[in-house]
């Protein structure tokens, strides 16, 4: 019967659970042994992939236009009418595989994750996950509707960001305050959503037998190779060796601007990163952004360039910013070997970095799905997923200049690389704020249920990890910064992944400084392993060490410092 199963979700968009159910029943009824297991896994992969394709397409539609209520309704109907049933059916098949005692080749690590899934699964949580997705949609609708009137025109907050790159400091302050005021206007609405998210997550954890959502989430993420205590070690290491380097960057930025105090409108994204001054102008159109990114990927590796070209040709990129579009950027797999990239490009260097980053995610999916046959092997963890994306940003950096097919003159390319490295250094302290905040939230839930306490905690952590910027008179804007970090609302505990991944990616880059081609080969080999190895093994395959300690981090900070000094010499400090 599986021979007749469509391979593309376009043919099953309107399927009900009644049409999927016979396939799951067939799998559940089959004898499972060493002779039959490979065909059984292949058939399960086929039907599960169709479900994931359908979910991905429906979710993408809700982010392309957050005002499209019909798209939201289609996603909700699928979640309730099909996905919830499929979750229960998949759990039965997982139990069947685990009970068989079989361990197919390449399944040692996936079985570890599957055991955790079974231990966490509770049927009563299935509709709660649908409810959580509905809250995701509500959050995106609030953020997607945020616009301001700027010089007589309605602008999204993202579209106003280029003003923060202006040489006119008064104009920057006006734009920053307009953005801050618009965000504060949604403060009560976001506080209400926060309470609902928190209450729902605690209920989910309790249903699964956990008093502590953090422990539940750790197992849900498959974090078998490190603990919450390791994260605390990481935070302390960042405070010890990265915060001083970050503070030096802020001081250098203050001197470059010739101001007495560095203020938030002297920065850019997340009120953390110095923007390009003078502004880098990498592209005029999205087509130019894509065309030059393809050239860069080809210089990194011709096969990766061909993979990106195929995405462009198949219409798998939605990159421009527009009113009603959900914030941020992401890559999602919509079928085998077929990733989709979403972002909000407005003509800044950040857009280039975002596309390189999401391109790394896309290559990870392509490498994994072309080398591994079964869906459970594709389940690489978020930490390794971010190694793929962050490494690609660094591996692509030598090719940003026009002579390499990229966007910039030699001086501007050095400027862009310097900015990227500064942002990487500044990211670690910001990541520590976000991660430490989430650890506090889910270990102090009674306090975190009051958004005023969340404001106070965020303010405390910001002061600890991000000194160097003067926020006097802007207390409300600083304290509510947690509301502007979508991961806190939508993807709890998904942020330390970026910090750990940057440790790995920086080591990949360090290898590339000695041997770019060799580092790329190791990188691709690691991506092709998918989720079939432990996290330390995957890092090792990429040529990196999985670590949290100050000694390891200190060596990487020293590398950044050396490279930044060289790049400043090229750009003469501009």
Q: 48 in a domain, yes or no?
A: yes
In a domain, 28, yes or no: yes
Q: What is the pLDDT of residues 383-417, one digit of tens each?
A: 999 999 999 999 999 999 999 999 999 999 999 99
**Which pLDDT value is given to residue 4?**
87
- Residue span of the structural domain in which 76 resides: 2-104
Question: pLDDT exceeding 70 applies to what percent of the chain?
Answer: 100
Q: Is residue 203 domain-resident? A: no
> Which pLDDT does position 278 carry in this prediction?
78
**pLDDT at residue 574 above 70?**
no
Surface-to-core class of residue 429, CB atoms within 10 Å of its CB (0-12 exposed, 13-18 middle, 19+ buried): buried
Domain count, the chain: 1
pLDDT attached to residue 161:
84
Q: Would 81 be classed as within a structural domain?
A: yes
* Average pLDDT value for the chain: 95
Is 290 in contact with 315 (CB distance < 8 Å)?
A: no
Q: Predicted confidence band at 337 (pLDDT cuts at 50, 70, 90)?
A: confident
Mean pLDDT of 351-355: 96
Domain-embedded: residue 45: yes
What are the C-alpha distances in Å from 214 to residues 110, 210, 287? 22, 9, 43
User: What share of the chain in percent tops pLDDT 90?
Assistant: 91
Q: List Cα–Cα distances, 417 to 130, 307, 353, 567, in angstroms.
A: 42, 25, 10, 8
The reply to whether 26 falls in a domain is yes
Q: What is the pLDDT of residue 573?
A: 52
Please check whether residue 74 lies inside any domain of the structure.
Answer: yes
Residue 168 within any structural domain of the chain:
no
């Amino acid at each position: 019967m599986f021979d007749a199963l469509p391979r593309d979700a376009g043919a099953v968009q309107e399927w009900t659970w009644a049409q999927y159910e016979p396939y799951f029943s067939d799998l559940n009824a089959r004898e499972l042994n060493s002779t039959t297991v490979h065909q059984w896994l292949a058939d399960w992969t086929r039907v599960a992939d169709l479900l994931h394709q359908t979910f991905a397409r429906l979710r993408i539609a809700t982010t392309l236009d957050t005002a499209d209520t019909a798209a939201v309704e289609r996603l909700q109907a699928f979640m309730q009418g099909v996905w919830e049933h499929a979750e229960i059916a998949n759990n039965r098949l997982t139990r069947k595989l685990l009970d068989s005692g079989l361990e197919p080749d390449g399944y040692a690590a996936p079985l570890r994750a599957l055991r955790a899934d079974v231990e966490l699964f509770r049927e009563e949580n299935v509709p709660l996950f649908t409810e959580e997705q509905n809250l995701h949609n509500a959050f995106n609708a609030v953020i997607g509707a945020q616009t301001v009137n700027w010089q007589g025109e309605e602008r999204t907050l993202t579209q106003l960001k280029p003003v923060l790159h202006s040489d006119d400091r008064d104009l920057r302050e006006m734009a920053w305050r307009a953005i801050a005021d618009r965000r504060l206007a949604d403060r009560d609405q976001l506080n209400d959503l926060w309470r609902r998210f928190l209450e729902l997550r605690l209920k989910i954890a309790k249903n699964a037998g956990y008093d502590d959502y953090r422990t539940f989430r750790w197992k849900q993420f498959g974090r078998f190779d490190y603990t919450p205590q390791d994260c605390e070690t990481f935070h302390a290491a960042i405070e010890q060796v990265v915060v001083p380097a970050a503070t030096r960057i802020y001081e250098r930025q203050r001197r470059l601007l010739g101001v007495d105090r560095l203020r938030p409108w002297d920065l850019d994204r997340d009120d953390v990163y110095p923007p390009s001054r003078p502004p880098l102008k990498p592209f005029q159109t999205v087509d130019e952004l894509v065309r030059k990114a393809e050239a860069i990927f080809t210089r990194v590796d011709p096969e990766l360039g061909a993979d990106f070209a195929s995405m462009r040709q198949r219409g798998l990129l939605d990159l421009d910013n527009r009113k009603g579009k959900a914030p941020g950027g992401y890559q999602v797999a919509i079928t085998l070997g077929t990733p989709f990239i979403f972002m909000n490009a407005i003509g800044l260097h950040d857009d280039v970095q975002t596309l390189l980053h999401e391109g790394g995610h896309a290559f990870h999916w392509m490498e994994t799905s072309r080398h591994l046959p079964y869906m459970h092997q594709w389940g690489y963890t978020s930490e390794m997923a971010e190694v793929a994306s962050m490494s690609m940003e660094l591996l692509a950096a030598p090719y940003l200049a026009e002579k390499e097919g990229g966007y910039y003159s030699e001086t501007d390319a050095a400027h862009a690389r310097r900015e990227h490295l500064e942002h990487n250094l500044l990211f670690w302290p910001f990541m520590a704020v976000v991660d430490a905040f989430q650890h506090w939230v889910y270990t102090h839930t009674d306090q975190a249920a009051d958004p005023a306490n969340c404001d106070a905690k965020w303010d405390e952590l910001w002061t600890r990890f991000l000194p160097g910027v003067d926020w006097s008179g802007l207390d409300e804007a600083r304290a509510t910064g947690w509301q502007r970090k979508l991961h806190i609302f939508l993807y709890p505990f998904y942020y330390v992944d970026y910090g750990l991944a940057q440790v790995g990616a920086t080591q990949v880059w360090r290898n590339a400084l000695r041997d770019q081609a060799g580092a790329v080969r190791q990188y691709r080999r690691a991506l092709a392993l998918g989720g079939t190895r432990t996290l330390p093994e995957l890092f090792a395959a990429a040529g990196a060490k999985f670590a949290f300690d100050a000694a390891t981090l200190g060596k990487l900070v020293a590398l950044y410092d050396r490279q930044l000094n060289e790049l400043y010499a090229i750009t003469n400090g501009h």
